[in-house]
Amino acid sequence: MSKLEKLIGSGLSTGFIKKASGTWGSLAALAIYLLPGFENPALLILLISISIIFGIPIANKFEKDYGKDPKEFTLDEFVGMWITLLFLPKSLWLIIPAFLIWRALDIIKPFPANRLEKLKGGLGIFADDIMAGFYSFLIMQILTNILYHFI
């Protein structure tokens, strides 16, 4: 595995933080989202797509070097976090609950995320996070719409 693949797969090295690497990876993804312009849905969808397409083969390499669904691989957390943030207004009142909901669902892995995690290789590494990100996205869209109707 090249140094670049290791940097990308580890979510800018967040995967090598000893405790809570998934949380650190999600925070790094959130920090990127907070950069001006990154809330643009077209850009986020492009980043998500590129991360999945190039990330699955890198995840396979991580799994070969570090074992099944390695904690060192956190690019999947970036993808899940970015899916959660899609189409949200850039507001701390929405970003904080989005982060907390995403982390909770990524850890709990409600059905079918728990089943998708069992897929082999890089696909399984990404699939559960994509599903948990989709659940988080739906919850945030519902909450956002409810909030905007009452404000």
pLDDT tens, position by position, 8-56: 999 999 999 999 999 999 999 999 999 999 999 999 999 999 999 999 9
Q: Average pLDDT, stretch 103-108? A: 96
The pLDDT of residue 151: 63
Report pLDDT digits (tens) over 71-104: 999 999 999 999 999 999 999 989 999 999 999 9
Q: What is the pTM of this model?
A: 0.94
Burial class (CB in 10 A: 0-12, 13-18, 19+), 97: middle
Q: Within 10 Å of residue 150's Cβ, how many Cβ atoms?
A: 6
Signed CA dihedral, 96, 102, 105, 106: sign only: negative
Q: Are 32 and 11 in contact (CB under 8 A)?
A: no
Higher pLDDT, 150 or 61: 61
Domain positions in the chain are 3-150
Residue 148 pLDDT > 90, yes or no? no
Q: Rounded to an integer, what distance in angstroms lies between the CA atom of residue 147 and that of residue 95?
A: 14
